[in-house]
Amino acid sequence: MPNTESILRIALQKSGRLSEDSFRLFKECGIKFESGTGKLKTSSSNFPAEFLFLRDDDIPGYVEDGVADIGIVGENVFVETNRKAEVTYRLGFSKCRLSIAVPRSVEYKGVNDFNGKSIATSYPRILGNYLKEQGVKAEIHEISGSVEIAPSIGLAEGVCDIVSSGSTLLSNGLKEVETIFRSEAILISNKKLPKSKIDTLNKLLFRIKAVQTAQN
Ligand code: PRT
Ligand code: ZN
């Protein structure tokens, strides 16, 4: 049995776009644990780690508060939630971008076109910072999902959402006009980990780097 002080609590997305690659990463590192059993917490049988399965939006807060020691989350969610944690490692999967899009029929000249207009998004912080930087005064309409339908129902002139292949925008009659943020999965850590846990984290990072070197 490992000394409990060195056991690393790891927060992973329970089910979604980050889950499969996150689970695979640990498997490739030779760290065994049960997933997909519906349990929200499990221990590894061969590494000093405990896994918590959560919604991605909750992961930065759990790592900041120390409920989890580390977590894997999209950089977009980490920046938007504005929680304090170390960005310890960039994992390179779940790549996507946060972009502004408008109806295809709109003749778009530049970001100043949004002055006095409204943009629907689930990322009010990142969008707000971007508009401020650009000196654009637009209204931000925060909605939690199905952002892409906002222009067609008259809710906003533009949208700001995650894009990967671009097919969702296309099928909603939208075109991408500005990319405001690029994201990938990142490993974040609590800022005040004790030395015993840092040792375990370093062992994990050593394995992750070895796996990634072998794959490149
Ligand atoms: O349930 P939970 O809250 O945990 O999950 P979630 O539904 O909030 O998130 P999830 O699983 O959809 O995404 C998790 C993370 O994956 C995101 O925070 C991003 O960092 C990353 N990611 C990578 C994506 C995409 N690609 C992606 N394509 N997140 C969302 N999308 C959505 C996007 O919102 C849009 O609706 O897919 C659509 C666009 O895809 P394309 O390929 O049509 O452009
Ligand atoms: Zn989420």
190 and 207 together in one domain: yes
Task: Identify the pLDDT of residue 1.
Answer: 57
Ligand 1 pocket check: which of 12, 17, 91, 149 to mutate, most ligand atoms within 8 Å of Cβ? Answer: 17
Task: Identify the pLDDT of residue 35.
Answer: 82
Q: Model-level pTM?
A: 0.96
Q: Amino acid identity, residue 113?
A: D
Number of domains forming the structure of the chain: 2
Check: CB of residue 181 under 8 Å from CB of residue 80: no
Residue where the block lists tokens 């070197």: 213
Instruction: Please report the atom of ligand 1 found closest to the CA of residue 56.
Output: 4
146 CB near ligand 1 (under 6 Å):
no
Helix (H, G, I), strand (E, B) or coil at 26: helix
Name the pLDDT band for 112 (thresholds 50, 70, 90).
Answer: very high
133 and 87 together in one domain: no
**CB-neighbour burial class of residue 109 (10 A; exposed 0-12, middle 13-18, buried 19+):** exposed
Task: Say whether the ipTM exceeds 0.90.
Answer: yes
**Over 70: is that where the pLDDT of 166 sits?**
yes
Query: What is the domain range of residue 175?
Result: 96-182
Task: Identify the pLDDT of residue 129.
Answer: 98
Mean pLDDT, rounded, of the chain: 96
89 and 191 together in one domain: yes
The strand pairing partners of 42, in sequence order, are: 51
**CA 55–ligand 2 middle distance (angstroms):** 6
From start to end of 143-193, where are the E strands?
Answer: 158-163, 174-183, 185-189
Compute φ and ψ for 191, nearest 5 degrees: -70, -20
Name the pLDDT band for 103 (thresholds 50, 70, 90).
Answer: very high
